[in-house]
Chain A
Amino acid sequence: MFEYPQTYQIIVIGAGHAGCEAALAASRLGFKTLVLTIDLDHIAFMPCNPSVGGPAKGHIVREIDALGGEMGRNIDSTMIQVRMLNTRKGPAVQALRAQADKKKYHLRMKEVLEKQKNLDLKQGLVTRILAEEGRVKGVETATGIRYRGEKVILTTGTFLRGRIIIGEATFDAGPNQQLPAKELSRSLQELGFSLKRFKTGTPPRVLGRTIDYDKTEPQPGHAGSLFFSFLHEGREGISGQLSCHLTHTNPRTHSIINENIERAPLFSGVIEGTGPRYCPSIEDKVVSFPRKKSHQVFIEPEGLTTDEMYLSGLPTSLPEDVQFSFLRTIKGMERVDMVRPGYAIEYDVIDTRQLNLDLETRLIQGLYTAGQVNGTSGYEEAGGQGLIAGINAALTLQGRKPLILDRAQAYIGVLIDDLVTKGTEEPYRMLTSRAEYRLLLRQDNADQRLSHIGREIGLLGDYQWELFRQKQEEIEKILEILGKTKIRPTPEVNEILQEKTSGGLNKPVSLKEIFRRPEITWSDLVDLEPGLPSCTQGIQTQVETMVKYEGYIERQQREIEHFKKLEKKMLPEKIDYDRVPNLRTEAREKLKDIRPISVGQAGRINGVSPADITSLLIYLERKKKNG
């Protein structure tokens, strides 16, 4: 074994969406960092859908950006279409979703990593994690290099004992038929980790020029200044957007699938891993919802320099010939040329109940895990965790307290709390409905929620921080003006209001009061008071939300105060649960296992009842009294 001459402070295993954020955060905070990846040509690769964002996921990207991460900037520079989803369902759940040029996305991220100071990027297949007396020491690769490091961040995605399944054919592989990491699983088990087996899948890719687009429904992008990164707010929107297209399966498609169902690995017992419910394969959908006569298929371009199309809605592990046959039954795809079959992939994941909320493992000090290896799915979820793991590895080296975002601060906080406190039985996808304080965790205010944290850690650059401060000042100024400006009930005013089917005034009221009305928009305010200072769309939206939602927001804020009380009640690190009277056995075991940091977190563990929490509170109170 060759001992690499350079000792690193932080080593990141994997350069997917989690690994990239982790490595960038660690090196940007000044630590000598190494990233090892199986294949340098797959950095920040998108093995599944060529898109970033959507409800909750888009929120996470904005949070990553506000903390000083890279994902938002990367997609902003490489997107070929962008849409704002849920525009009519309320500001809290509005979300950006962009189609990425997947090649460009990879190349740009690779370049950012290569240019980053303190960061070394190398190709290497890690086979072993080195640890002594419960502390991580470094890693070894398949080609006989030993790297020493103080912290190791494991972001192996779906590579651990990866196995691809296409009908009767199975082979050991990582995503997109890269080399799998076969030995690392054993190394983890030797260190004492318990692993689980998950499964996910991807649809076939087809050649665009073999699709009859006239038979499909175009899904164009949205115009306007739509960007993930707060850095890009107010910039002119991207031009030359590509369109996605919508078509549908039909009873013929379904009957081909049904006729071949015994050849489906999902039902024949070949697949052992647990798959995600929110992303079922087409064969699963056909079997589980037999009365549904058709399913949507979105045709999404994979980039500007390729004609490959991603068929969203059709993940499958049916044999390649079945895929070929059912594809050609779909409207617009009668002569389609399939260039890559869909496949299922099984892989090992870590049971995240073995982690602390800072993403460090409890078993091995200095070892962090993030991303799909933690049982999540999605690039955004991975990126969020990677960022936190990278930040926390760095903060610990600085002797600072780790960053733990709570459920009232960020979707990233909800995500990690769910993983660590509850664990997950299937690939975990972030949903807005998982957030208790959704009205406050909006995509428009991610900067308000997190910029100061990014700044304090040292990740958020001067320029972005200055932009943020200016924006806040402007928002405050405008809110003040809206509150102070009184509109008098003149005939002109009432005419403007009535035109918007809004009731007329009979006494002077502030612009803010008028803005509360659901039907009144910013431009109406300008009509009423032409002297209003102009401001960006982003600021208008945020002010509007703050004014219109005030009552609801205050309500959630009160709930949060309530929530924080128990979150702030910390549990001593060395608490001996065997000495807490009246705990039920199940709760005792779970508490010992998960070791929550606060009473609040303890209450969210499955199997810990409110009565157990009372017993815990009683114990803490008594201990405090007896000293």
Chain B
Amino acid sequence: MNREDTIAALATPPGIGALGIIRVSGAESHQQVDRIFKNPKGKRASEMNGYTAAYGHIIDPDTGENADEVIILVMHAPHSYTGENMVEIIAHGGPVPLQAIMDLLLDRGVRLAEQGEFTRRAFFNGKMDLAQAEAVVDVIEAKTQKGLRLALDQLGGSLSRFIRESSEKLWEVLAYCEASIDFPEDELDGFTLEDVEQYLDRVEKDLEKTLETYSRGRALREGVRTTIIGRPNVGKSTLLNALLGEERALVTSVPGTTRDSVEELINLDGIPLRLIDTAGLRETEDEVEKLGVDRTRKLLERSDLILAVLDSGSGFTAEDEKMLATIPQEKSLVVVNKIDLDESIDLTGVREHFPENEILFISALEGRGLERVRQAIKERIIGSEKEEGFWVSNLRHERALKEALKSVKAAREGWKSGVTMDLAVVDIRGALHHLGQITGETINQDISREIFSRFCIGK
């Protein structure tokens, strides 16, 4: 445990709330926040007094992109929860901005706090006694939803299996390298220099693939970002409400009334769906509405699932055609609404863009076909029950995998460019260390055991 580095974590429960708070603690926490926080008057966390707040934006210093509008609250050691310098970033409560802010911090050297680490630091800095510390940790534990945790645990089982397989390959490479370093004159059968690169390459690809599942896995924890799109008045809000079971979004038959997107959380057999109804996806002259449309485009990129709604009554239009061309097939479901009015819509255009996908027919108004929609969503997110898949669902795991990937990449690239074995091994060990953080296995275990079980050593 390094008590000097700076840590950050989401302090509010994941999901949607009005506000979300990210806590940053450590000697460098003020400077760390300075790098991404922009106040209109140029206030900086490192220059602010203790227990004062400032308004501003979190900006990605590399791209200039605005992540969220926030208030920061600055605390000075020892007058803070942990007894260290701290900043609380109070942001909007959606997972999207919170995730973006966390990413900005973590990409710049802040470490994701371990479970209960804030409390542990508080304890070490004399801010609370052990009993208090334990009580706080208990409360944190109790908040985790049981059902979801169970599901994640199961998925975690497959994840550890994958980690073990990747680790196993890295162990083989490591054992080979270490054996050839420590026993330079022995014959090492069954593994060659060429295998090193091949194994590293393979592990790198596997890790990349696994990391891609993070968005799916995160979806389970924080809610599947589901966007409903379609021309104005095709019944997006009605569909949202039908899935929701109650009237939430403003439903009206005047095109373009739903200017702001509306976000709702529903529970679909344990899968949290964060449904977002958008302003219609339509080129428009209206400046206000255009803003909404731009946002929609951005939303689509970040969505895990897109429900593209067509209107059976008004048929398949050029605008529909354009919409289907913009959305990616693999995360979209096509829903044809208003079958109560007319069922004769020509679907040739749809098939062209989505040859593989099932097309769902519903009447959101009458509640027909909704069960099938729910089912299709579920299949899309979890996959059919037979499929053995797993997802990286937890930020800590994602971080560890990213670090492992970075190390494997460094090892492979180094190896390719002729870096010597003693250096390549440093990165391979690094990768194993990061993978071990997920499964709890450390690489301090005796590598020699590995060497002697694989190779006939000894002259």
Contact = CB atoms under 8 A, between A and B. Distances in A.
Interface of A: 54-56, 85-86, 88-93, 277-280, 285, 288-289, 292, 295-296, 298, 312-313, 315, 431-434, 438-439, 518-519, 549, 552, 555-556, 562, 565, 581, 604, 614, 617-618, 621-622, 625
Interface stretch (B153-161, B272-280, B305-313, B451-459): B451-459
A93 B422 CA distance: 7
11 contacts: A54-B184, A55-B183, A55-B184, A56-B182, A88-B420, A90-B422, A92-B422, A278-B183, A433-B182, A439-B422, A555-B426
A360 to B, nearest CB: 27
A55 B182 contact: yes
A93 B458 contact: no
Contacts, number: 97
B123 interface: yes
Given A277-B448, A313-B458, A438 B185 contact: no
A298 B418 contact: no
Interface string B430-454: 0000000000000010011001100
B193 to A, nearest CB: 11
B418 A289 contact: no
B421 A93 contact: yes
A85 B448 CA distance: 20
A312 B459 contact: yes
A289 B188 CA distance: 12
Given A313-B458, A313-B459, A552-B426, A298 B185 contact: yes
A273 to B, nearest CB: 17
Contacts of A54: 184
Interface centre among B187, B422, B426 (most CB of A within 10 A): B422
Contacts of A432: 178, 181-182
B420 A85 contact: no
B181 A433 contact: yes
Nearest to B181: A93
Contacts of A431: 178, 182, 448
Q: What are the nearest 9 A-B pairs in CB distance?
A: A90-B420, A90-B422, A92-B422, A433-B178, A313-B459, A89-B421, A277-B452, A289-B456, A431-B182
Interface string B160-178: 0000000000000000001
A614 B124 CA distance: 10
Contacts of B448: 277-278, 431, 433-434
B253 interface: no
B180 interface: yes
A556 B421 CA distance: 16
A518 B457 contact: no
Contacts of A439: 422-423, 426
Interface size class of B (residues with CB under 8 A): 20 to 34
Contact of A89 (B180, B185, B447): B180
Contacts of B422: 89-93, 438-439
Contact of A621 (B124, B181, B182, B447): B124
Contacts of A622: 130
Contact of A278 (B120, B123, B458): B458
Nearest to B186: A296
A296 B420 contact: no
A519 B417 CA distance: 10
Given A280-B458, A312-B459, A432-B181, 20 more contacts: A55-B184, A85-B184, A86-B184, A89-B181, A89-B422, A91-B420, A92-B422, A93-B422, A278-B458, A285-B458, A292-B189, A295-B187, A298-B185, A434-B448, A438-B422, A439-B422, A439-B426, A552-B426, A614-B1, A618-B124
B126 interface: yes
A86 B419 CA distance: 14
A316 B457 CA distance: 15
B27 to A, nearest CB: 14
Contacts of B423: 90, 439, 549, 552
A56 B2 CA distance: 30
A519 to B, nearest CB: 8
Contacts of A438: 422
A288 B183 CA distance: 18
Nearest to B445: A606
B188 to A, nearest CB: 11
Q: Which of B124, B420, B423, B448 has the most CB of A within 10 A?
A: B420
Contacts of B124: 617-618, 621
Nearest to B420: A90
A619 to B, nearest CB: 10
A227 B447 CA distance: 30
Given A93-B181, A438-B422, A621-B124, A292 B456 contact: yes
Interface in B92-137: 120, 123-124, 126, 130
A518 B189 contact: no
A411 B182 CA distance: 14
Contacts of A288: 456
B164 to A, nearest CB: 20
A72 B396 CA distance: 50
Contacts of A434: 448
A298 B458 CA distance: 11
Contacts of A89: 180-181, 184, 420-422
A56 B457 CA distance: 16
Given A296-B187, A621-B124, A433 B458 contact: no
Nearest to B442: A610
Nearest to A519: B418
Contacts of B420: 88-91
A556 B427 CA distance: 11
A548 B84 CA distance: 38
Contacts of A280: 456-458
A430 to B, nearest CB: 9
A434 B417 CA distance: 27
A589 to B, nearest CB: 21
Interface in B223-278: none
Contacts of B2: 562, 565
Nearest to A55: B182
A88 B418 CA distance: 10
B192 to A, nearest CB: 15
Contacts of B120: 614
Contacts of A556: 426
B127 to A, nearest CB: 12
A408 to B, nearest CB: 15
A295 B452 contact: no
B426 to A, nearest CB: 6
B122 to A, nearest CB: 12
Contacts of A277: 448, 452, 457-458
Interface string B298-319: 0000000000000000000000
